[in-house]
Chains A and B, each alone.
Chain A
């Protein structure tokens, strides 16, 4: 056994794998524990063998960026090790995500709750952007919620660092409902403003409790956007007609945001409007957004520990503790859980997944096996 292998085994020994909690497009997620402290972790097992070109691109990106980013509002990558042919990422364990919370009809959101979530999202995003990383897949389902209520940006599978001048980037990123118009028009040169558009859509979704711009196809997405915000003119957004995939989708009049968000304050609509400006260079950036009057106005943002949480995770907590203990004493926790996954494993290229199903990467943390 050479030194590298020995080091890997050392690392692997630090973590135990319990039951499976979810399945992504290119990975299976298990619940696990740190052996020394008993702290709960999530272990993301990435299959290496099944991809022709070696390791899946998203896994590389995830490791590359999460290894460097450490922030309260960004998911923490605790460790990386390999087992047999698989790559394992050890991430902090988070019990729910914003999508579950938005969909849980028994929860009541106060304006202060939305403010708190938005502040945490912008803080996490500001940290990514300050370190020159574009997330490129922001959506409620990728904003995970820790048990203490802290919101954490997760899933850096599509992340990328800022491009050098003249380098092309792919426009097939970001789940469609949260994709900004410049990407829909096929721009290969874009900036951090793409993430801000997504945050704007999430902001609106938190208020409406339903997706703000749910387009059925890429074409329909543009139409949906224009129907909601009005077709941009050359004055609103200089140069957009020159973008590679530009197609006229029809003229729609501008409607004030006030018509849809009847209960929102003026500050709220001002910030939302600035996140959803067509011209990407004029769109607000994360740092400016954090200094927007919306966040300073009363009511103060809710303390994270008091934010609404899905009831299912709250009631099941004691139960979890019990089977956690049982699994800790069991000798081989991973074996039992691993068997059925082989049948369910999916093969899909990231492009397919993005255009086909907007919610494909969902990890269902409420699932108990």
Chain B
């Protein structure tokens, strides 16, 4: 407050001669800022805190750059941020943009009334970066699993960072927007899928919390029930002893000892059942916590690239091969009945014959030599995929 240029020293309480009244007045004001907008419904958005409210940045030095009114003159002053990241007060917004889109009084970009958002951060560049990053995260949501190798993933992350940087610093905006649009078009389904995944993950977390809470409640109830039972048991045991002492004519000490032993037996039996219950719930709980740490991934039928390339041969329906004579002569259908397939033998013979045809001859163990034949090394893989 002290370095506010346009407000004279008389604002500070100590220079004013009318006692401490004004000084205390400014003090209260700084503690209770009156942010009560008339149009909160319109100016939604902004960063929400944990309780779901929009936490808004403001300071006592706020001044509208358009009408120059400040918080001292107008305690209800509320500055909002335009899409070109310029601040102005609500009354200026109402005044300028109520009749439709109009140019920004600072940079003359055409703005609409609805495009103003509350300010969350003191520094508007941070505000902008957060907004840009939030937008980027919505569309560039690919994950590590979506890439075949780490290199591709890193390249992708770098591209995302590149686009983000451009957007924040207004470099090649048109070109950057084109890049974003292209990415969106190419990956529409994947983006959709990943949004779905995020939701599922959030859902799993919620369920986990729910089940934990239920578990705790259940345990509390159980403990209470046990306590009650125990009390009842003790009570009953005491009555029992008295009854027996009354009716029987045996030695008093013996009677007491016997009923005590009975009671002990009962309690130990009960505690045994409760411990198994507890260990079971612990087991299930530990599985539940695990499931949120490592998410299950969809099934991938084969995890190697064995079938990724085309075979260098085509199987025919029939081969005139003397070896398979026996199978063809199998009039009784004995081989057929046992499930023997001569096609498998043919397939094997052919595969073994052509496997390795594309592999270049070894010219030494120097890896540089192998790079002379890009793409030809893994064409045929047998027994080592």
Contacts and interface: CB of A to CB of B under 8 A. Distances in A.
B301 interface: yes
A192 B344 contact: yes
Contacts of B4: none
A290 B302 contact: yes
Contacts of A194: 339
Nearest to B336: A239
The 8 closest A-B pairs by CB, nearest first: A280-B339, A187-B338, A239-B337, A166-B326, A239-B333, A189-B340, A165-B324, A290-B301
Nearest to A72: B303
20 contacts: A68-B383, A108-B283, A119-B299, A165-B326, A165-B327, A165-B342, A182-B338, A187-B337, A191-B339, A238-B336, A240-B337, A243-B334, A281-B341, A283-B339, A290-B302, A300-B297, A300-B298, A302-B296, A303-B295, A303-B297
A108 B290 CA distance: 14
Given A191-B341, A300-B296, 20 more contacts: A71-B304, A108-B283, A131-B383, A165-B321, A165-B326, A165-B340, A166-B323, A187-B334, A189-B327, A189-B334, A238-B337, A242-B334, A242-B337, A243-B337, A280-B339, A300-B297, A301-B299, A302-B296, A303-B296, A306-B294
B92 interface: no
A303 B298 CA distance: 10
Contact of B324 (A132, A166, A301): A166
A73 B253 CA distance: 69
Nearest to B307: A287
A244 B337 CA distance: 10
Contacts of A242: 332-334, 337
A130 B334 contact: no
Interface in A12-53: none
A295 B283 contact: no
Interface in A261-300: 279-281, 283, 287, 290-291, 295-296, 299-300
A237 B333 CA distance: 11
A70 B344 contact: no
Nearest to B332: A242
B299 A296 contact: yes
Nearest to B337: A239
Nearest to A311: B283
A193 B339 contact: yes
B287 interface: yes
Contacts of A55: none
Contacts of B284: 108
Contacts of B195: none
Contacts of B324: 165-166
B353 interface: no
Contacts of B345: 162-165
Nearest to B324: A165
A239 B332 contact: yes
B315 interface: no
Contacts of A279: 339
A165 B337 contact: no
B323 A164 contact: yes
A132 B385 CA distance: 14
B188 interface: no
Interface in B322-359: 323-327, 332-342, 344-345, 348
A238 to B, nearest CB: 6
Contact of B344 (A106, A162, A302): A162
Nearest to B342: A165
Interface string A184-205: 0101111111100000000000
